[in-house]
Amino acid sequence: MGLVDVSRLPKHVAIIMDGNGRWAQARGKPRTLGHERGADAVRATMRAARRLGIPALTLYAFSEQNWDRPEAEVNALVDLLCECLVSERNELVDNEIRLSAIGRLHKLPERAQSKLSALSSETESFTGMTLTLALSYGGREELVDAARALARRVRDAEIEPSDIDEAAIELELPSMDVGPVDLLVRTGGEQRISNFLLWSSAYAEFYFTDELWPDFDASSLYRALEEYQARERRFGLVPGTKTKPAVNESSDELERAI
Q: Judged by CB under 6 A, does residue 216 bind ligand IPE?
A: no
Tell me: does residue 142 bind ligand IPE (CB under 6 A).
no
Among 9, 10, 18, 131, binds ligand IPE (CB under 6 A): 18
Is residue 18 at the binding interface for Mg ion, with CB under 5 A as the rule? yes
Concerning whether 75 is annotated as a catalytic residue, the answer is: no
Element (H, E) at 14: strand 12-16
Give the separation between CA 34 and CA 215, rounded to whole angstroms. 10
Residue 210 annotated to the active site: no
3-state SS of 169-219 is HHHCCHHHHHCCCCEEEECCCCCCCCCCCCCCCCCCEEEECCCCHHHCCHH
Choose among ligand IPE, Mg ion, none what residue 187 binds, the Cβ cut-off being 5 to 8 Å by kind. Answer: none
Question: Nearest 5 degrees, angle CA 30-CA 102-CA 133?
Answer: 45
188 makes contact with ligand IPE (CB under 6 A)? yes
Q: Which of 14, 16, 41, 92 binds ligand IPE (CB under 6 A)?
A: 16
Q: Residue 250 in contact with residue 12, Cβ under 8 Å?
A: no
Beta 183-186 vs 12-16: how paired, if at all?
parallel
Residue 228 touching ligand IPE (CB under 6 A): no
- The correct pick among 32, 58, 63, 209 for binding ligand IPE (CB under 6 A) is 63
Tell me which residues are annotated as active site: 18, 66
Site for ligand IPE, rule CB under 6 A: 16-22, 60-63, 66, 77, 188, 190, 192, 194, 213
